[in-house]
Amino acid sequence: MNTDKSKQLFEEAKKYIPGGVNSPVRAFKSVGGDPLFITRGEGARFWDADGNEYIEYIGSWGPHLFGHNPPFIKQALLDAIENGTSFGAPTELEVKMAELITQLVPSVEKVRMVNSGTEATMSAIRAARGFTKREKFIKFEGCYHGHADYFLIKAGSGALTLGVPTSPGVTKGNAADTLLADYNDIDSVKKLIKSNKDEIAAVIIEPIAGNMGVVRAKDEFIKELRAICDEEKIVLIFDEVMTGFRVAAGGAQEVLGVTPDLSTFGKIIGGGLPVGAFGGKAEIMDMIAPSGPVYQAGTLSGNPLAMAAGYAALNHIKNNPGIYDELEEKASYLEKGMKDNLKALGKNYTMNRVGSMMCMFFTEEEVDDFKSAVKSDTDIYGKYFHEMLNRGIYLAPAQFEAMFVSTAHTKEDLDKTITAHKESLASVA
């Protein structure tokens, strides 16, 4: 496979862009080799600068529920751009978009549009702090909530210690208000709350994690977490930037049957364009300016192009309730094929799947938290990734990410992927 043009573009990019990419995971650092530069996407496929074609499973990291460039989203964008790209003033479409989100996600009574998932999560934490008049919050090891300073925290000597920065530029003072708990371990949460009584404003969690691979919150854990937050008057925030409208019309909270106080969204609500949102109980959201004293703003928030694409995507979901049955059928077919391959090859690697999100870990242990996820053999994953790539299958260039199945993936695509999976596994065994 010739990738000369991608290599040339990468060398040129490194002269002007840190690391040659505008988001770190794109650089192929964790799998080796040079990144491919993509020129076009259609359906379940995209093409690189050298003309190579791939069946791909990152879907722009989740938002392409219907594949690349679906006609109804393309038309919505063409119609919107005729009227202008940005106004910095309210538009009717923002109102319609907000109303549609509240219809699809019952826990959201009011919603504020922002420009990214990171903006959504940092704003939700600020709203929770303003509402509770407390400063500390709990996050879980292995959950990713964007690159705001107080999210880039890891545990110190133990998971129950105060957080310490994982990135230069994040201050110890900022980190001091971030408390680390273990995913799917309710006792770790209880201990933190007990040692920080009446100081915790919020608990933020990916109810279905997608950035340590795919890991689902256990039913008993997430229900007890809800009960503890109620008892302690702590705001429970579900980060659904990845799972919102991906695993169900009502997101992970619909799948798990647990209602958060606030939710954050991104990805699909932009129909492939940069966008985010946070919303939830009206009494909390009314703390946000100009209704209340908690300041949050964005010049391009509610951008008409992003709203047009997002409204088209969510309206398509609303009017086609069978989408999630179709996604389940396709994803379960792919999962079964891959599991059959593992069995045939005598491998017991772990596979996790929730709806159209799935992940294969190169470990034989059950993966239900960060500590078990990192036992996966990333060296083998790197080799496997390139074997799949050479067979025309583009996966996430990192072990700890999800595969995303779209409605555009055909049975032929899935069968080709299953065959490539078996051959690739055999090559790296």
Under 8 Å between Cβ of 176 and 156: no
- In the residue annotation, 144 being an active-site residue is answered as yes
**Residue 385 banded pLDDT, cuts 50, 70, 90:** very high
- Edge-to-edge strands of the sheet including 276-280? 110-114, 276-280, 262-265, 235-239, 200-205, 136-140, 178-181
Annotated catalytic residue within 177, 239, 261, 413: 239
The two three-digit tokens of residue 338, written as one number:
């891959």
Contact (Cβ atoms closer than 8 angstroms) between residue 273 and residue 345: no
Strand partners, 137: 178, 202
Are 307 and 93 within 8 A, CB to CB?
A: yes
Task: Write the secondary structure of 151-211 as one string of H (helix), E (strand) and C (coil).
Answer: HCEECCCCCCCECEECCCCCCHHHHCCEEEECCCCHHHHHHHHHHCCCCEEEEEECCEECC
Condensed to tens digits (0 to 9), the pLDDT of residues 4-52 reads 999 999 999 999 999 999 998 899 999 999 999 999 999 999 999 999 9
Point out which residues pair with 269 in neighbouring strands: none
Closest CA to 170 of 154, 150, 142: 150
Judge whether residue 162 has pLDDT over 50. no
Based on the residue annotation, tell me whether 267 is a catalytic residue of this protein. Answer: yes
Average pLDDT over residues 348-352: 97
| Whole-angstrom distance, CA of residue 319 vs CA of residue 204 | 31
Domains defined for the chain, CATH in brackets: 4-64+331-428 (3.90.1150.10), 71-319 (3.40.640.10)
pLDDT digits (tens, 9 = 90+) for 215-249: 999 999 999 999 999 999 999 999 999 999 999 99
DSSP-assigned beta bridge partners for residue 41: 46
List helix spans (H) across 278-377.
282-285, 304-319, 323-344, 370-373
For the segment 373-377, the average pLDDT, to the nearest whole number, is 95
Q: For 70-93, what is each residue's pLDDT tens digit?
A: 999 999 999 999 999 999 999 999
> How far, in Å, CA of 165 to CA of 152, rounded?
6
Token pair for residue 211?
């950035």
Residues 245, 104: contact at Cβ < 8 Å? yes
pLDDT of 164 higher than 80: no
- Determine which of 165-174, 183-192, 233-242, 328-337 has the lowest per-residue pLDDT on average: 165-174
The reply to whether 48 belongs to the active site is: no
The H or E element containing residue 40 is: strand 38-42
pTM: 0.95
Strands 136-140 and 200-205: parallel
Choice between 361 and 24, residue whose per-residue pLDDT is larger: 361
From the candidates 54, 57, 144, 324, give the one annotated as an active-site residue. Answer: 144
Pairing of strands 403-404, 53-56: unpaired
User: Which of 267, 349, 369, 394 is flagged as catalytic?
Assistant: 267
Rounded to 5 degrees, what are φ and ψ at 300? -100, 10
Q: Which residue has the tokens 């790209």?
A: 85
Largest CA distance in the chain: 61
